[in-house]
Homo-oligomer: A and B are copies of this chain.
């Protein structure tokens, strides 16, 4: 198995996270690095979605991935197999990443020539939404088995995301998931959020998502 670096990140010492986030975003912009913050519940398919995304975009951009987890390094190994630069961040029990912690990851990843950096945040719909990581854009995945009522229960997460991927649409027939209601609930929280139904496993809808992401990266570095 290809060796993957594991970085134990430390709790931030900064009081003003918003300021730290703005500063990191400005520095990344300067360097030509687009940072995507990808969030979701545990098990919604972040890693599978990322794997597919990298396969589609790796000839267009130099990609680097930070896999944040409380423990384990299975995800970073999976991502490393795609050929992307990958690093595992261990949060030491912490439930989210803030800008200071993201900065440690960016330094550990040694972004250098990376054009698209992706942070796979800790699987959690609550805490990661409260901390600006310094990302250029926020994305989240809601998977069909979780139910269409999640925007009602985790309002902040949906309100801060630029794009919501509805994953695992292949199993829609086996769950009581109402896509129209889901779109309506997301719009209540965030009328500007783009909603893209996908199936990371089969590839359905992935073109719309990777095209959207490609445009964002190109605009950022224009």
Contacts and interface: CB of A to CB of B under 8 A. Distances in A.
Interface of A: 41-44, 69-72, 74, 93, 95, 122-127, 130, 143, 145-147, 149-150, 152-156, 168, 170-171, 174-175
B71 A145 contact: no
A43 to B, nearest CB: 3
B145 A168 contact: yes
A126 B122 contact: yes
Contacts of A145: 43, 143, 145-146, 168, 171
| CB-CB nearest 9 A-B residue pairs | A43-B146, A145-B145, A95-B126, A72-B152, A43-B147, A41-B42, A41-B41, A95-B127, A42-B125
A71 B170 CA distance: 29
B93 A156 contact: yes
Contacts of A130: 93
Contacts of A175: 171
8 contacts: A43-B145, A43-B147, A71-B154, A74-B149, A95-B95, A122-B126, A123-B153, A171-B174
A43 B149 CA distance: 9
A125 B69 CA distance: 12
A168 B123 CA distance: 20
B41 A153 contact: no
A175 B171 CA distance: 9
A153 B171 CA distance: 24
A90 to B, nearest CB: 11
